A and B are shown apart, each in its own frame.
Chain A
Amino acid sequence: SQQGEEDPQALSIQEGENATMNCSYKTSINNLQWYRQNSGRGLVHLILIRSNEREKHSGRLRVTLDTSKKSSSLLITASRAADTASYFCATGSGTYKYIFGTGTRLKVLA
């Protein structure tokens, strides 16, 4: 079963615009990570935020975490055509696994 649910399922924007995608989860977590996947290939780690952190930045990425609402958001600023991919949140909790969400498919139009 999927713990995380990304929203929206699909997003189409123009190059240069910002892209925001959201993730909701069900149980308490130790950390939350965001991964990127290009057209059915392997996943690439983007950023990790711990449960005691509220915001984190990495280059053009900004992640927020609200544990009271069990939600996180990923903001990609000044998007590029190369950002076109699927983005997944993954939650780490008290088990030997990460639980991935269903993903947001982002398309950046040049």
Chain B
Amino acid sequence: ETGVTQSPTHLIKTRGQQVTLRCSSQSGHNTVSWYQQALGQGPQFIFQYYREEENGRGNFPPRFSGLQFPNYSSELNVNALELDDSALYLCASSRTQLPFLSGELFFGEGSRLTVL
């Protein structure tokens, strides 16, 4: 139990639609990052938010966007869905802006998106 909750757990969309995924961070964590995990692959970094500002982004197109709210909860939005967007989307929170230096990531259970 990491204290990070994600919703919805599963959803099905059709190509071209838009989707919003939500994440509630562990209490006291001010940094949230999002990862995409395709079937049989490791998680790939999408972006990170610290105090409501995006401060790091992976190799994902602009149709992947996010928000972080004052209570440190977060959203991932994906526009113009493509078949290859089908994946498990993982949210991870951490205590520090620079988790890669010193901290562990606390993951939610993920939202499994299927694009038809």
Q: Which residue numbers of A lie inside 8 Å of B, CB to CB?
A: 1-2, 4, 30-31, 33, 35, 40-45, 48, 88, 90, 92-93, 95-103
Contact = CB atoms under 8 A, between A and B. Distances in A.
Contact of A98 (B41, B105, B108, B110): B105
A86 to B, nearest CB: 9
A100 B56 contact: no
Q: Which among B43, B56, B59, B110 has the highest number of chain A CB atoms within 10 Å?
A: B43
Query: How many B residues touch the partner, as a band?
Result: 20 to 34
Contacts of B90: 42-43
Contact of A43 (B41, B43, B48, B58): B43
Interface residues of B: mostly helix, strand, loop or mixed? mixed
Given A30-B101, A31-B101, A44-B107, A88 B42 contact: yes
A31 B102 contact: yes
Given A41-B110, A42-B107, A92-B101, A99 B2 contact: no
Interface string B74-116: 0000000000000010101000001111101111111010000
